[in-house]
Amino acid sequence: MDRGQTECFKPPEKFDSVFGFKLGYLLVGDTEQPSLQGKDTTLQEAITTANLAKNHYRRRRTETEFNKFYESCISFSEGKSGEPVLPRYRRASGRLI
């Protein structure tokens, strides 16, 4: 690691980290409304903003939107992180069954 580079600015080593960061940014960044953060927000403004967010997420929750998002994650992580892999299968513990 470079002298000036800190741990938090180091590129992610795993694809699922990239996926998680981009998903969090997508969920929070798209619907962040500064108008809801003030003390003078009315109930009607809050309900309207909640309905707008709900409709926005409903439009985003399609196969084509997910494929675009996934492809953007793959193109972003090329050369920066590892390949996407499925987690190793683990058998359920006998105590839990």
Q: What are 1-58's pLDDT values in tens digits? A: 455 555 565 666 777 778 888 888 887 776 666 656 677 878 888 888 888 888 888 8
Residue 58 maps to a domain? yes
- Tally of domains within the chain: 1
29 class by beta-carbon count within 10 Å (0-12 exposed, 13-18 middle, 19+ buried): exposed
Residue 55 maps to a domain? yes
Residue 2 maps to a domain? no
Max intra-chain CA distance, the chain: 55
Residue numbers of the domain that contains 50: 44-78
Residue 60 maps to a domain? yes
What is the pLDDT, as a whole number, of residue 33? 61
Residue 61 maps to a domain? yes
What sign has the CA pseudo-torsion 70, 72, 75, 79? negative
Alpha-carbon gap, residue 59 to 55, rounded angstroms? 6
Residue 74 maps to a domain? yes
Task: Give the predicted TM-score (pTM) of the model.
Answer: 0.57
**Residue 6, H or E segment:** none
Residue 54 maps to a domain? yes
